[in-house]
Amino acid sequence: MNEIKKQLNFTLNDLKIEKNIGEHYKGKVRDNFHMNDKILMVTSDRVSAFDHVLGTIPFKGQILTEIANFWFDKTKDIVPNHIISSPDPQVLIAKKAKTLPVEIIIRQYITGSLWREYSDGINGQYGFDIEDGLKQNQKFDQCIITPSTKAEYGQHDEPISREKIISELVPEDIYSKAEDYALKLFKAGQEWADKMGLILVDTKYEFGMYNGELIVIDEIHTPDSSRYWIKESYDENFKKGLPQNMLDKENIRQWLIEQGFKGEGTPPKLSDDIRILLSEKYMELYKKITGNDFEPFSGDVKKRIINNLEKASIL
Ligand SMILES: Nc1ncnc2c1ncn2[C@@H]1O[C@H](COP(=O)(O)OP(=O)(O)OP(=O)(O)O)[C@@H](O)[C@H]1O
Ligand SMILES: [Mg+2]
Protein backbone atom coordinates (compact mmCIF):
# COMPACT_ATOMS: atom_id res chain seq x y z
CA MET A 1 0.00 0.00 0.00
CA ASN A 2 2.73 2.45 1.03
CA GLU A 3 4.79 1.26 -1.89
CA ILE A 4 1.90 1.97 -4.25
CA LYS A 5 1.42 5.47 -2.82
CA LYS A 6 5.11 6.24 -3.24
CA GLN A 7 4.97 5.11 -6.86
CA LEU A 8 2.09 7.48 -7.77
CA ASN A 9 4.55 10.11 -9.02
CA PHE A 10 6.89 7.69 -10.82
CA THR A 11 4.48 5.92 -13.14
CA LEU A 12 5.26 5.60 -16.83
CA ASN A 13 2.98 7.76 -18.93
CA ASP A 14 5.06 8.40 -22.03
CA LEU A 15 8.26 6.78 -23.13
CA LYS A 16 10.26 8.96 -25.45
CA ILE A 17 13.22 7.18 -26.97
CA GLU A 18 15.83 9.55 -28.41
CA LYS A 19 17.36 7.03 -30.76
CA ASN A 20 15.29 6.18 -33.84
CA ILE A 21 14.62 2.48 -33.33
CA GLY A 22 11.60 2.31 -35.62
CA GLU A 23 8.29 3.89 -36.33
CA HIS A 24 6.43 4.78 -33.15
CA TYR A 25 2.76 3.76 -32.83
CA LYS A 26 1.09 5.02 -29.72
CA GLY A 27 -1.91 2.99 -28.59
CA LYS A 28 -4.00 3.78 -25.58
CA VAL A 29 -1.84 1.66 -23.32
CA ARG A 30 1.15 0.46 -25.32
CA ASP A 31 3.91 2.32 -27.13
CA ASN A 32 4.99 0.21 -30.06
CA PHE A 33 8.16 0.68 -32.06
CA HIS A 34 8.14 -1.21 -35.34
CA MET A 35 11.51 -2.73 -36.22
CA ASN A 36 11.42 -4.70 -39.50
CA ASP A 37 9.60 -7.91 -38.67
CA LYS A 38 9.57 -7.27 -34.92
CA ILE A 39 7.81 -4.87 -32.57
CA LEU A 40 9.26 -3.45 -29.40
CA MET A 41 6.17 -3.19 -27.20
CA VAL A 42 6.34 -1.01 -24.13
CA THR A 43 3.36 -1.42 -21.84
CA SER A 44 3.01 1.94 -20.14
CA ASP A 45 1.19 2.51 -16.85
CA ARG A 46 -1.63 4.28 -18.70
CA VAL A 47 -5.16 3.08 -18.08
CA SER A 48 -8.00 3.39 -20.55
CA ALA A 49 -11.70 2.77 -20.19
CA PHE A 50 -14.57 3.41 -22.59
CA ASP A 51 -11.81 4.05 -25.14
CA HIS A 52 -10.45 7.08 -23.26
CA VAL A 53 -7.01 7.31 -21.69
CA LEU A 54 -7.61 8.36 -18.08
CA GLY A 55 -4.21 8.56 -16.39
CA THR A 56 -1.72 6.12 -14.90
CA ILE A 57 -1.80 3.34 -12.31
CA PRO A 58 1.28 2.41 -10.24
CA PHE A 59 3.00 -0.80 -11.47
CA LYS A 60 0.27 -1.47 -14.04
CA GLY A 61 2.65 -1.95 -17.00
CA GLN A 62 4.77 -4.42 -15.09
CA ILE A 63 1.78 -6.38 -13.80
CA LEU A 64 0.15 -6.59 -17.24
CA THR A 65 3.35 -7.67 -18.95
CA GLU A 66 4.11 -10.32 -16.36
CA ILE A 67 0.56 -11.69 -16.37
CA ALA A 68 0.47 -11.80 -20.18
CA ASN A 69 3.88 -13.52 -20.25
CA PHE A 70 2.67 -16.05 -17.70
CA TRP A 71 -0.32 -16.95 -19.89
CA PHE A 72 1.56 -16.89 -23.18
CA ASP A 73 4.06 -19.31 -21.71
CA LYS A 74 1.38 -21.57 -20.26
CA THR A 75 -0.55 -21.80 -23.53
CA LYS A 76 2.26 -21.76 -26.10
CA ASP A 77 1.76 -25.43 -26.94
CA ILE A 78 -1.95 -24.94 -27.66
CA VAL A 79 -1.78 -21.70 -29.67
CA PRO A 80 1.28 -20.06 -31.25
CA ASN A 81 1.84 -16.51 -29.97
CA HIS A 82 3.87 -13.41 -30.79
CA ILE A 83 6.41 -13.47 -27.96
CA ILE A 84 10.11 -13.41 -28.79
CA SER A 85 11.64 -12.04 -25.57
CA SER A 86 11.14 -9.66 -22.66
CA PRO A 87 14.16 -7.37 -22.13
CA ASP A 88 12.46 -5.49 -19.25
CA PRO A 89 9.54 -6.30 -16.91
CA GLN A 90 7.30 -4.11 -19.01
CA VAL A 91 8.78 -4.47 -22.47
CA LEU A 92 8.29 -7.22 -25.04
CA ILE A 93 9.91 -8.01 -28.32
CA ALA A 94 7.14 -9.51 -30.41
CA LYS A 95 6.68 -10.88 -33.89
CA LYS A 96 5.15 -8.14 -36.03
CA ALA A 97 1.93 -9.58 -37.37
CA LYS A 98 -0.55 -8.39 -39.93
CA THR A 99 -3.50 -7.93 -37.57
CA LEU A 100 -6.99 -9.24 -38.25
CA PRO A 101 -9.33 -6.20 -38.14
CA VAL A 102 -11.55 -7.76 -35.46
CA GLU A 103 -11.36 -8.59 -31.77
CA ILE A 104 -12.66 -11.94 -30.62
CA ILE A 105 -14.46 -11.54 -27.33
CA ILE A 106 -15.54 -14.65 -25.44
CA ARG A 107 -17.99 -14.51 -22.58
CA GLN A 108 -19.18 -17.08 -20.07
CA TYR A 109 -21.36 -14.63 -18.10
CA ILE A 110 -23.67 -11.78 -19.02
CA THR A 111 -22.12 -8.69 -17.50
CA GLY A 112 -20.43 -5.38 -18.30
CA SER A 113 -21.25 -3.73 -21.62
CA LEU A 114 -23.20 -6.78 -22.84
CA TRP A 115 -25.42 -6.64 -19.76
CA ARG A 116 -25.87 -2.88 -20.17
CA GLU A 117 -27.02 -3.41 -23.79
CA TYR A 118 -29.22 -6.44 -23.00
CA SER A 119 -30.96 -4.71 -20.10
CA ASP A 120 -31.65 -1.76 -22.43
CA GLY A 121 -33.41 -4.19 -24.78
CA ILE A 122 -30.58 -4.38 -27.35
CA ASN A 123 -30.12 -7.90 -28.74
CA GLY A 124 -29.03 -9.56 -31.98
CA GLN A 125 -26.10 -7.21 -32.71
CA TYR A 126 -23.69 -10.16 -32.99
CA GLY A 127 -25.85 -12.05 -35.47
CA PHE A 128 -27.65 -14.23 -32.91
CA ASP A 129 -30.08 -13.58 -30.08
CA ILE A 130 -29.26 -14.00 -26.45
CA GLU A 131 -32.08 -15.80 -24.63
CA ASP A 132 -34.60 -13.73 -22.69
CA GLY A 133 -34.93 -13.57 -18.93
CA LEU A 134 -31.28 -13.60 -17.88
CA LYS A 135 -30.19 -11.83 -14.71
CA GLN A 136 -27.11 -9.64 -14.37
CA ASN A 137 -23.91 -11.73 -14.04
CA GLN A 138 -25.73 -14.99 -14.90
CA LYS A 139 -23.65 -17.79 -16.37
CA PHE A 140 -24.30 -18.91 -19.95
CA ASP A 141 -24.60 -22.68 -20.38
CA GLN A 142 -22.06 -22.32 -23.16
CA CYS A 143 -19.67 -19.46 -23.70
CA ILE A 144 -20.56 -17.09 -26.52
CA ILE A 145 -18.42 -15.12 -28.96
CA THR A 146 -19.32 -11.44 -29.34
CA PRO A 147 -16.83 -10.07 -31.87
CA SER A 148 -16.15 -6.40 -32.42
CA THR A 149 -14.39 -4.31 -35.02
CA LYS A 150 -11.03 -2.82 -34.12
CA ALA A 151 -11.68 0.90 -34.13
CA GLU A 152 -9.24 3.72 -34.90
CA TYR A 153 -7.88 5.78 -32.00
CA GLY A 154 -10.67 7.76 -30.28
CA GLN A 155 -13.41 5.68 -31.91
CA HIS A 156 -15.45 3.02 -30.17
CA ASP A 157 -15.19 -0.63 -31.19
CA GLU A 158 -18.47 -1.75 -32.75
CA PRO A 159 -20.27 -5.09 -32.38
CA ILE A 160 -20.22 -7.19 -35.55
CA SER A 161 -21.61 -10.57 -36.61
CA ARG A 162 -19.59 -13.59 -37.69
CA GLU A 163 -21.41 -13.50 -41.01
CA LYS A 164 -20.33 -9.94 -41.74
CA ILE A 165 -16.75 -10.69 -40.67
CA ILE A 166 -16.37 -13.62 -43.06
CA SER A 167 -18.13 -11.89 -45.93
CA GLU A 168 -16.30 -8.56 -45.62
CA LEU A 169 -13.23 -8.67 -43.40
CA VAL A 170 -11.50 -12.01 -42.84
CA PRO A 171 -11.40 -15.18 -45.02
CA GLU A 172 -13.59 -17.83 -43.43
CA ASP A 173 -10.85 -20.43 -42.96
CA ILE A 174 -8.70 -17.94 -41.08
CA TYR A 175 -11.55 -16.62 -38.98
CA SER A 176 -12.67 -20.15 -38.07
CA LYS A 177 -9.15 -20.99 -36.97
CA ALA A 178 -9.00 -17.82 -34.87
CA GLU A 179 -12.30 -18.80 -33.22
CA ASP A 180 -10.98 -22.27 -32.55
CA TYR A 181 -7.79 -20.86 -31.02
CA ALA A 182 -9.77 -18.37 -28.94
CA LEU A 183 -12.01 -21.13 -27.56
CA LYS A 184 -8.98 -23.27 -26.69
CA LEU A 185 -7.23 -20.39 -24.94
CA PHE A 186 -10.36 -19.48 -23.05
CA LYS A 187 -10.88 -23.05 -21.88
CA ALA A 188 -7.29 -23.28 -20.67
CA GLY A 189 -7.69 -19.93 -18.92
CA GLN A 190 -10.94 -20.91 -17.25
CA GLU A 191 -9.53 -24.19 -15.99
CA TRP A 192 -6.42 -22.59 -14.49
CA ALA A 193 -8.39 -19.68 -13.00
CA ASP A 194 -10.77 -22.16 -11.38
CA LYS A 195 -7.88 -23.99 -9.73
CA MET A 196 -6.62 -20.69 -8.34
CA GLY A 197 -9.99 -19.66 -6.86
CA LEU A 198 -10.91 -17.31 -9.67
CA ILE A 199 -13.48 -17.11 -12.43
CA LEU A 200 -12.29 -16.01 -15.87
CA VAL A 201 -15.54 -14.28 -16.81
CA ASP A 202 -14.78 -13.04 -20.29
CA THR A 203 -11.84 -11.95 -22.38
CA LYS A 204 -10.70 -10.40 -25.62
CA TYR A 205 -8.22 -11.85 -28.13
CA GLU A 206 -6.45 -10.32 -31.09
CA PHE A 207 -4.88 -12.38 -33.85
CA GLY A 208 -2.55 -11.71 -36.71
CA MET A 209 -0.68 -13.42 -39.54
CA TYR A 210 3.07 -13.88 -39.33
CA ASN A 211 4.99 -15.77 -42.03
CA GLY A 212 1.72 -17.24 -43.24
CA GLU A 213 0.83 -18.53 -39.79
CA LEU A 214 -2.06 -17.38 -37.58
CA ILE A 215 -0.80 -16.32 -34.14
CA VAL A 216 -2.34 -14.74 -31.06
CA ILE A 217 -0.94 -11.24 -30.45
CA ASP A 218 -1.36 -8.31 -28.09
CA GLU A 219 -2.02 -9.51 -24.52
CA ILE A 220 -3.99 -12.46 -23.18
CA HIS A 221 -5.93 -12.98 -19.96
CA THR A 222 -4.75 -9.74 -18.37
CA PRO A 223 -7.02 -7.65 -16.15
CA ASP A 224 -7.15 -5.04 -18.95
CA SER A 225 -8.41 -7.54 -21.51
CA SER A 226 -10.46 -9.83 -19.27
CA ARG A 227 -12.81 -9.89 -16.33
CA TYR A 228 -11.92 -11.93 -13.28
CA TRP A 229 -14.16 -12.56 -10.28
CA ILE A 230 -13.44 -14.27 -6.98
CA LYS A 231 -14.94 -17.75 -7.30
CA GLU A 232 -15.86 -18.27 -3.66
CA SER A 233 -18.28 -15.36 -3.43
CA TYR A 234 -19.91 -15.75 -6.86
CA ASP A 235 -22.98 -17.79 -5.92
CA GLU A 236 -23.99 -15.78 -2.91
CA ASN A 237 -23.50 -12.43 -4.65
CA PHE A 238 -25.40 -13.66 -7.67
CA LYS A 239 -28.33 -14.95 -5.58
CA LYS A 240 -28.53 -11.68 -3.66
CA GLY A 241 -28.14 -9.57 -6.78
CA LEU A 242 -24.96 -8.01 -5.37
CA PRO A 243 -21.95 -6.90 -7.41
CA GLN A 244 -19.24 -9.51 -7.90
CA ASN A 245 -15.84 -9.27 -6.27
CA MET A 246 -13.88 -8.02 -9.29
CA LEU A 247 -10.13 -8.00 -9.81
CA ASP A 248 -10.01 -6.23 -13.16
CA LYS A 249 -10.54 -2.99 -15.03
CA GLU A 250 -14.28 -3.07 -14.40
CA ASN A 251 -13.41 -1.44 -11.05
CA ILE A 252 -12.46 1.72 -12.88
CA ARG A 253 -15.45 1.56 -15.24
CA GLN A 254 -17.73 1.35 -12.20
CA TRP A 255 -15.95 4.30 -10.59
CA LEU A 256 -16.39 6.36 -13.77
CA ILE A 257 -20.09 5.48 -13.94
CA GLU A 258 -20.45 6.55 -10.28
CA GLN A 259 -18.90 9.91 -11.25
CA GLY A 260 -21.56 10.24 -13.95
CA PHE A 261 -19.30 9.34 -16.90
CA LYS A 262 -20.51 6.72 -19.34
CA GLY A 263 -18.10 7.14 -22.22
CA GLU A 264 -19.17 10.41 -23.83
CA GLY A 265 -17.52 13.76 -23.20
CA THR A 266 -14.50 14.40 -21.01
CA PRO A 267 -13.73 11.76 -18.40
CA PRO A 268 -13.13 12.88 -14.78
CA LYS A 269 -9.58 13.08 -13.40
CA LEU A 270 -8.66 9.90 -11.52
CA SER A 271 -8.35 10.33 -7.75
CA ASP A 272 -5.32 8.92 -5.95
CA ASP A 273 -7.69 6.58 -4.13
CA ILE A 274 -8.96 4.93 -7.32
CA ARG A 275 -5.42 4.77 -8.74
CA ILE A 276 -4.27 2.97 -5.59
CA LEU A 277 -7.32 0.73 -5.51
CA LEU A 278 -6.81 -0.45 -9.07
CA SER A 279 -3.13 -1.13 -8.42
CA GLU A 280 -4.08 -3.22 -5.39
CA LYS A 281 -6.66 -5.18 -7.35
CA TYR A 282 -4.20 -5.90 -10.16
CA MET A 283 -1.56 -7.04 -7.64
CA GLU A 284 -4.06 -9.28 -5.89
CA LEU A 285 -4.96 -10.81 -9.24
CA TYR A 286 -1.28 -11.35 -10.08
CA LYS A 287 -0.87 -13.27 -6.83
CA LYS A 288 -3.97 -15.37 -7.38
CA ILE A 289 -3.10 -16.27 -10.97
CA THR A 290 0.58 -17.03 -10.51
CA GLY A 291 0.55 -18.21 -6.90
CA ASN A 292 3.45 -15.82 -6.17
CA ASP A 293 3.61 -12.40 -4.55
CA PHE A 294 4.00 -9.57 -7.01
CA GLU A 295 7.44 -7.98 -6.72
CA PRO A 296 7.15 -4.39 -7.82
CA PHE A 297 10.06 -2.50 -9.33
CA SER A 298 9.72 0.83 -7.55
CA GLY A 299 11.19 4.11 -8.68
CA ASP A 300 11.89 5.63 -12.07
CA VAL A 301 10.39 3.27 -14.62
CA LYS A 302 11.68 5.21 -17.62
CA LYS A 303 15.29 5.04 -16.46
CA ARG A 304 15.04 1.32 -15.80
CA ILE A 305 13.58 0.60 -19.24
CA ILE A 306 16.26 2.65 -21.02
CA ASN A 307 18.94 0.84 -19.00
CA ASN A 308 17.55 -2.58 -19.85
CA LEU A 309 17.21 -1.73 -23.53
CA GLU A 310 20.83 -0.58 -23.58
CA LYS A 311 21.89 -3.82 -21.86
CA ALA A 312 20.03 -5.82 -24.50
CA SER A 313 21.83 -3.77 -27.19
CA ILE A 314 18.55 -2.43 -28.51
CA LEU A 315 19.54 1.17 -27.75
N1 LIG B 1 2.34 -8.86 -32.51
C2 LIG B 1 1.71 -7.78 -32.93
N3 LIG B 1 1.78 -7.39 -34.22
C4 LIG B 1 1.14 -6.28 -34.66
N5 LIG B 1 0.39 -5.49 -33.87
C6 LIG B 1 0.25 -5.82 -32.58
C7 LIG B 1 0.90 -6.98 -32.04
N8 LIG B 1 0.58 -7.07 -30.73
C9 LIG B 1 -0.22 -6.01 -30.47
N10 LIG B 1 -0.42 -5.26 -31.56
C11 LIG B 1 -1.21 -4.03 -31.68
O12 LIG B 1 -0.60 -3.06 -30.85
C13 LIG B 1 -1.57 -2.23 -30.24
C14 LIG B 1 -1.41 -2.31 -28.75
O15 LIG B 1 -1.51 -1.10 -28.22
P16 LIG B 1 -2.68 -0.72 -27.22
O17 LIG B 1 -3.18 -1.91 -26.51
O18 LIG B 1 -2.19 0.43 -26.44
O19 LIG B 1 -3.73 -0.24 -28.28
P20 LIG B 1 -5.28 -0.17 -28.10
O21 LIG B 1 -5.63 0.94 -27.24
O22 LIG B 1 -5.79 -1.50 -27.74
O23 LIG B 1 -5.70 0.16 -29.57
P24 LIG B 1 -5.24 1.35 -30.46
O25 LIG B 1 -3.85 1.03 -30.95
O26 LIG B 1 -6.26 1.31 -31.56
O27 LIG B 1 -5.31 2.59 -29.64
C28 LIG B 1 -2.92 -2.72 -30.69
O29 LIG B 1 -3.39 -1.95 -31.76
C30 LIG B 1 -2.62 -4.17 -31.14
O31 LIG B 1 -3.49 -4.61 -32.13
MG1 LIG C 1 -5.14 -2.96 -26.47
Residues 160-184 have pLDDT tens digits of 999 999 999 999 999 999 999 999 9
State mean pLDDT over 46-57: 95
Which band of pLDDT confidence, cut at 50, 70 and 90, is reported for residue 8? Answer: very high
Q: Is residue 119 part of a domain?
A: yes
Q: What's the rounded Cα separation, in Å, for the pair 86 and 41? A: 9
For a ligand 1 pocket test, name from 218, 219, 222, 249 the mutation site with the most ligand atoms within 8 angstroms of its C-beta: 218
pLDDT at position 12 over 90: yes
Mean pLDDT of the chain: 96
pLDDT at position 188 over 70: yes
Q: Is residue 212 part of a domain?
A: yes
Number of structural domains (the chain) is 1
H-type alpha helices, the chain? 2-7, 60-75, 112-119, 162-164, 172-195, 234-240, 250-258, 272-290, 301-311
**Each residue's pLDDT tens digit, 84-133:** 999 999 999 999 999 999 999 999 999 999 999 999 999 999 999 999 99
Q: Is residue 121 part of a domain?
A: yes
What pLDDT sits at residue 154? 65
3-state SS assignment for residue 107: strand
Q: How large a percentage of the chain has pLDDT more than 90?
A: 93
What pLDDT sits at residue 156? 80
For a ligand 1 pocket test, name from 14, 25, 32 the mutation site with the most ligand atoms within 8 angstroms of its C-beta: 32
Ligand 1 contact via 208 beta carbon (within 6 Å): yes
Q: Is residue 227 part of a domain?
A: yes
Residues belonging to the chain:
315
- Between 54-68, 72-86, 139-153, 266-280, the lowest mean confidence (pLDDT) is in 139-153
CA distances for 48 relative to 8, 70, 222, angstroms:
17, 22, 14
C-alpha 134, offset from chain centre: 26
Write out the residue range of the structural domain in which residue 173 sits.
99-240
Ligand 1 contact via 281 beta carbon (within 6 Å): no
Ligand 1 contact via 95 beta carbon (within 6 Å): yes
Ligand 1 contact via 160 beta carbon (within 6 Å): no
Q: Residue whose CA is closest, atom 19 of ligand 1?
A: 27
Buried residues in 1-14 as b, exposed as e (16+ CB within 10 A)? eeebeebeebbbee
Q: Is residue 29 part of a domain?
A: no
Contact in structure between 165 and 147 (CB atoms under 8 Å)? yes
Contact in structure between 300 and 10 (CB atoms under 8 Å)? yes
Q: How far is the CA of 29 from the centre of ligand 2 (A)?
A: 6
Ligand 1 contact via 28 beta carbon (within 6 Å): yes
Query: For 132, which DSSP code?
Result: T
Q: Is residue 52 part of a domain?
A: no
Ligand 1 contact via 107 beta carbon (within 6 Å): no
What pLDDT sits at residue 155? 75
Kind and range of the H or E run holding 91? strand 91-95
State mean pLDDT over 289-293: 98
Which band of pLDDT confidence, cut at 50, 70 and 90, is reported for residue 35? Answer: very high
Q: Residue whose CA is closest, atom 10 of ligand 1?
A: 218
Q: What's the rounded Cα separation, in Å, for the pair 147 and 18? A: 38
Work out which ligand 1 atom sits closest to the CA atom of 30.
18
Residue type, 49: A
Q: Is residue 193 part of a domain?
A: yes
What pLDDT sits at residue 210? 98
What pLDDT sits at residue 151? 78
Here the CATH number for the domain that contains residue 192 is 3.30.470.20
What pLDDT sits at residue 152? 74
Q: What's the rounded Cα separation, in Å, for the pair 59 and 297? A: 8
**Each residue's pLDDT tens digit, 191-218:** 999 999 999 999 999 999 999 999 999 9
All residues at 6 or more sequence positions from 143 whose CB lies less than 8 Å from its CB, including other chains: 106, 107, 108, 183, 186
Q: Is residue 51 part of a domain?
A: no
Contact in structure between 207 and 107 (CB atoms under 8 Å)? no
Phi, psi of 46 (to 5 degrees): -65, 150
